Amino acid sequence: MGLHAEHSHEADVQAYPAVDAAWEFLDKHRNARFDSADIKALRQKIDWHIVPLMFCCYTMQFLDKVILNYAAVMGLPKDLHLQGNEFSNVATFLFVALLCFEVPNTYCLQVFPAARWLGANVMLWGIATACGAAAHNYQTLLISRVFLGIFEATIGPSLLLISSQWYTKSEQAPRFSLWGCGTGIGQIVGGAVSYGFQQVKPGAALASWRIMFVVLGCITVVIGLCTFMFLPDTPMQARWMTDDEKVMHLKHVSINQTGIRDHKFRLSEISEALVDPQVYLLVLAVILLSISSGVVTTYSSTLIRNLGYSGPRAALMNMPSGVVSIFFTIFVGYGIRKQSHRWAWIIACIIPAIIGSALMSFLPITNRSGVLAGIYLVNAVIAPLFIFYNLTAANIAGATKRTFCAAVVSGSFSIGNIIGPQTFQARDAPEYRPAKYAVLGTQAGCAFVTFTLFLYYFAMNRKRKVIEASVEEQYMDREVWERLTDKENPRFRYVY
């Protein structure tokens, strides 16, 4: 009897060679019993097991990058004898390394288990952060930050793919926002941590910024170890879910038509991605958006200090930026959950960022309150990044295509962060007006590209045939779990 059952399953797999791994699990558990009314309780259970780990990872990736911002007012440039644009170059090459290693991550994330790959890289970038404390000149600091960029390259694509496994398209936006709040928390915690470490007396064995690097690096290693051990690679491997719960969950997310897990690497899907207009629009929008993000991440403390505040006070005065970031991130995440219209919520965040950019750019530096308000408002621009990540996860189907596009869109964030710090040139100090004008112009451009993306999705959906029945009602249908891309699947619907 057992041999017959095993033979029957092998026959099923051979009969459906192009079906996602989730279908194979469902096929083994056709007799599972569950009550769909329990999906809310199951979703809460998933939230508590998944979101905190993703939140901690994203918080530390931001904090480990932004501590360079705080170290700038803690004596790092003086201690390492940095000259001219060397500080900007250190910030830039972190993102150059991150960008270069996004594409190899496309292959690694499909071949290796996503959660394990993420956890291992978090531990490695924690080590790179701690090693930054040993830097004694420009070259050694640059090397430590380059390695930080190499290992952080996986964070965006990994969290994007993991989120798409656990939630429907409408549920994804608030979850993206929840772990995305790590950016705002990182800004707040970073300001407090910087202020605390600046109380270390100058005669201490280690400079305050060096101690900060070691402590935060060690915390990151611990979080990476927890992620490696406790974050499941797929819903089918979650030890804290029963088989019946797994079936209920897979039925629930089957409506996405984006699959769960497929190890096979398909070059044809990358070719499709390279001619897909939505990919180029997403890339352009994220580049324009993240130019401002790069300025905020690297130079906000410097801008505040140039208003006449001391180093410790500048660190504290930067903390409201995190509050603004958190507010808008949660605001758009739950707004989308209730009302959809992702494009409109993106633009709703860009408008206050444009106002903030104008205040920064056109008010004299003597108007400290107005310029400070502008610096804070620009942080509203951080929230739309997670909505673009959500659009990537929701609107791109096909395992290889989605993984590749996740890496490309995340890489676009790096491109913007490469450009952003380079708009700050030493000759423009202390007001840095060209950089402020760049923030203003790129935000307006991002709003235009976002509206164009909405028009594209709207036009594509009008060309698709209407789905006659809910996909969720057909969750055992082979077509739901076929390894089709969004272009190949005539029933696929884009969200916007």
Q: How many CA atoms lie within 13 A of 376 on its CB side?
A: 19
- Classify residue 428: in a domain, yes or no: yes
- Classify residue 103: in a domain, yes or no: yes
The DSSP H or E segment spanning 435 is helix 433-463
Residue 65 DSSP SS3 = helix
Contacts of 309 by beta carbon, 8 Å cutoff, 6+ apart: 317
- Classify residue 12: in a domain, yes or no: no
**Total of domains in the chain:** 1
pLDDT per position as a tens digit, 128-160: 999 999 988 999 999 999 999 999 988 888 888
Residue 336 DSSP SS3 = helix
Report residue 418 as tokens: 């490469």
Q: Which domain holds residue 412?
A: 18-27+38-237+246-481
CA angle at residue 278 from 275 to 280, to 5 degrees? 65
- Read off the CATH number of the domain in which 363 is found: 1.20.1250.20
Residue 430 DSSP SS3 = coil
- Classify residue 290: in a domain, yes or no: yes
CA angle at residue 93 from 90 to 96, to 5 degrees? 165
pLDDT per position as a tens digit, 169-185: 888 888 888 888 888 88
In this structure, are residues 380 and 183 in contact, taking their beta carbons and an 8 Å threshold?
no
pTM of full prediction above 0.85 = no
- The CA-atom distances, in angstroms, between 21 and each of 161, 162, 165, 259, 407 are 15, 15, 12, 8, 22
- Classify residue 489: in a domain, yes or no: no
In this structure, are residues 203 and 189 in contact, taking their beta carbons and an 8 Å threshold?
no
* Cα–Cα dist 288/311, whole Å: 30
- Classify residue 1: in a domain, yes or no: no
Across 310-420, the runs of DSSP E, i.e. the strands, are: none
- Classify residue 447: in a domain, yes or no: yes
pLDDT reported for residue 262: 67
Query: Where residue 313 falls among pLDDT bands split at 50, 70, 90?
Result: confident
Query: Span 293-308, mean pLDDT?
Result: 71
Contacts of 60 by beta carbon, 8 Å cutoff, 6+ apart: 122, 126, 182, 186, 216, 219, 220, 223
Average pLDDT value for the chain: 81
- Classify residue 23: in a domain, yes or no: yes
pLDDT per position as a tens digit, 213-264: 999 999 999 999 999 999 998 888 889 888 888 888 888 887 777 766 666 7
